[in-house]
Structures are given as structure tokens and as C-alpha cells.
């Protein structure tokens, strides 16, 4: 009754070790490129170096929330047919959301520092900052909902629905806030448009984005495994409890 399935890939695997090493090396190079090699911006000065964290962070935050939403939808439509009851998707949603919140927080902090230098104020009621802060709080709420003690399936359904609504809400929030105020520098990295940040700065930004993506993937994979281990531990305890309950009355029956 009590066995640990495929236990060997629970903590570190060769794959994630390589990923982790790559991430560390990439971060070192990114620091070098971002803080030393790349030039100052003519207008922004050193403050442009903040964008090498700010822009990749918001990209990761959005990507993580997309992952959360996609996993949640899969959880809702597939949980009945999957052998694990959709727990895989639930874990993925949970770990991605946590990493997303982390990077949304980093986006806010770096953005505010950047704003202090460039705009002269920590906070502007600018569309993207406002959207980001709402997003940040929304997903903090999502994590709070996940932390509630509940049956795993109940919690999974509840948080999946919340992730779905939160995600559907992102464009609504963005549109309405954007419409309300627009003051932000236009998107720094966008496909099909001439980037406003050019040359070495552009490549540094691109490279940082890649690096942060690697770091975030590593974090998500490990967070996933921790959730899995926690579930496994609970499951173990429960199975042991069931086994002992099934045994205890055998003589009397």
C-alpha cells in the first residue's frame, strides 16, 4: 500500500542540475554584460541597466501567469480523465503562479527605482505600472487561496477557477487602465517594430531575457517538485493511516 512512485526524480536530476548550472553561469555573464560591458544610455544614463532586470521580469511574470492559466484550464477539463486526477496541472499552476508573483514583485521594485531616476518619482499612475500592481495583488490572492487548508481536489478546482478568471481579467484590466492613463515608455522589446533600445543594449536585454527565463524555469521545476513531495508526504501519511485502520480491527471482526 505504501510505496513512493518514481522517487528518483523528486529532488535534483541531471537535467535540472545542468539547467541550474547553466542558470548560474548565465546570471554571472548577465551581470557582467548588464552592469559593466553594456554602455550607458544617452538619455537615461546608468538607469537603463535597471531595464535588463525590469523587462525580463515582467515577461516572466506574464509567461508564468499564462502557464498558470493554461494548466488550470487543462486541470478543469482533464482532471476527471487523468490517472492523477489532474494533480500535475494543479502543481504546475501553483508553482508557476508563485514564481510569477516573485517576478511581478521584482518588476515593481525595479520599475519604481527606474522611475525615481528617470521620472523623478517612484510611482506614476501609468497604465503598465498600475496593471502590474493589480496583477501582483490578484495573484497574491491566488496564492492565499491555494494556502487554505482543503481537500486537494477542492483546492485544485477552486484555484483553477480563480486562475482562469484572473487571467481573463488581465486584458480587461490592462485595457481599462491603459485607456485611463498612458504615460509609460513604449514597449522596449517588441516583435516587428524597431526597438527603441538599440545595439549592445538591445542584445544585452535580449540576453537577460533568456537568462531570466532559464532561472525562472529552474525555479518552477523545483517548486513543482516541492509541491509534489509535500503531496507525496501527505499521501504517504494517509496511506499509512488507512493501512493501520484497515488492520486494527481484523482480529475483532
Partner 1 sequence: MSDIAAVATGWGLTFVVVATYALWVVGRGKTIGRELGIGKRQELGPGSDSSTPASS
Partner 2 sequence: MLHEVLLVARKDLRVEWRSKVTIGQVAPLALLVLVVFAFAFDANARLLGLGAGGLFWVAVLFGGTLLIQRAFDLETDDGNFDAFRMSTIGAPSLFLGKSLGVFIQVVLLELVLGPGVALLYDVRIDDWFLLLAAALAGTVAFSVCGVLWGVMAAGVRVRATLLPLLLIPVLAPVLLAGSRAFETAFGVRAEAGWTWASVMFVIAAVHTAIGVGTFGFLLEEG
Partner 3 sequence: MSTVVDFHKVVAVAGGFPVLAGLDIEIAPGEIVHLRGSNGVGKTSFLRACAGLIPIRAGEANVLGFDMRVDRRAPRRYIGLLGHENHLYTDLWVREHLEFRASVVGASEGDVGAALRRVGLSERLWSVPIERLSAGQRRRVAIASVLISRPQLWLLDEPHAALDSEGREFLDGILIDAASSGATVVFASHERDVLKSVASREVTLRGGRLWEDSGAA
Which member of 160, 201, 216, 227 binds partner 2 (CB under 8 A)?
A: 160
Minimal distance in Å, beta carbon 75 to partner 3? 17
- Strand-pair partners of 41: 45
CA distance 54 to 187: 12
Nearer to partner 2 by Cβ, of 177 and 219: the residue is: 177
| Cβ neighbourhood burial of 183 (10 Å; 0-12, 13-18, 19+) | exposed
Interface region with partner 2, contact rule CB under 8 A, candidates 82-90, 171-179, 184-192, 244-252: 171-179
Nearer to partner 3 by Cβ, of 193 and 245: the residue is: 245
75-106 burial string, b = 16+ CB within 10 Å, else e? bbeebeeeeebbbbbbbbbbbbbbbbbbbbbb
- Residue numbers 46-105 binding partner 2 by CB under 8 A: 76
Positions touching partner 3 (CB under 8 A) are 151, 153, 234, 238, 241-242, 245-246, 248-249, 252-253
Q: What is the CA radius of gyration of the chain?
A: 22
Q: State CA 127 to chain mean position distance.
A: 21
Residue 161 in the binding site for partner 1 (CB under 8 A):
no
* Contact footprint for partner 2 (CB under 8 A): 76, 134-135, 137-138, 140-141, 144-145, 148, 151, 153-154, 157-158, 160-162, 164-166, 168-169, 172-173, 175-177, 180
Amino acid at each position: 500500500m505504501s510505496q513512493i512512485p518514481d522517487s528518483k526524480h523528486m529532488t535534483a536530476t541531471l537535467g535540472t542540475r545542468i539547467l541550474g548550472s547553466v542558470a548560474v553561469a548565465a546570471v554571472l555573464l548577465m551581470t557582467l554584460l548588464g552592469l559593466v560591458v553594456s554602455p550607458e544610455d544617452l538619455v537615461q544614463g546608468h538607469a537603463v541597466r535597471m531595464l535588463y532586470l525590469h523587462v525580463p521580469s515582467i515577461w516572466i511574470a506574464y509567461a508564468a501567469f499564462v502557464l498558470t492559466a493554461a494548466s488550470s484550464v487543462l486541470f478543469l477539463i482533464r482532471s476527471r480523465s487523468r490517472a492523477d486526477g489532474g494533480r500535475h496541472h494543479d502543481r504546475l499552476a501553483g508553482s508557476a503562479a508563485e514564481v510569477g508573483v516573485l517576478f511581478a514583485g521584482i518588476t515593481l521594485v525595479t520599475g519604481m527605482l527606474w522611475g525615481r531616476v528617470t521620472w523623478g518619482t517612484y510611482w506614476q499612475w501609468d497604465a503598465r505600472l498600475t496593471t502590474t500592481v493589480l496583477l501582483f495583488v490578484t495573484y497574491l490572492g491566488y496564492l492565499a487561496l491555494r494556502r487554505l487548508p482543503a481537500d486537494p481536489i477542492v483546492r485544485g478546482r477552486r484555484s483553477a477557477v480563480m486562475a482562469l478568471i484572473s487571467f481573463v481579467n488581465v486584458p480587461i484590466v490592462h485595457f481599462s487602465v491603459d485607456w485611463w492613463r498612458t504615460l509609460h515608455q513604449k514597449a522596449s522589446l517588441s516583435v516587428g517594430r524597431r526597438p527603441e533600445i538599440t545595439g549592445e543594449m538591445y542584445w544585452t536585454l535580449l540576453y537577460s531575457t533568456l537568462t531570466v527565463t532559464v532561472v525562472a524555469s529552474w525555479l518552477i521545476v523545483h517548486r513543482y517538485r516541492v509541491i509534489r513531495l509535500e503531496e507525496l508526504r501527505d499521501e504517504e501519511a494517509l496511506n499509512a493511516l488507512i493501512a493501520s485502520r484497515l488492520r486494527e480491527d481484523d482480529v475483532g471482526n
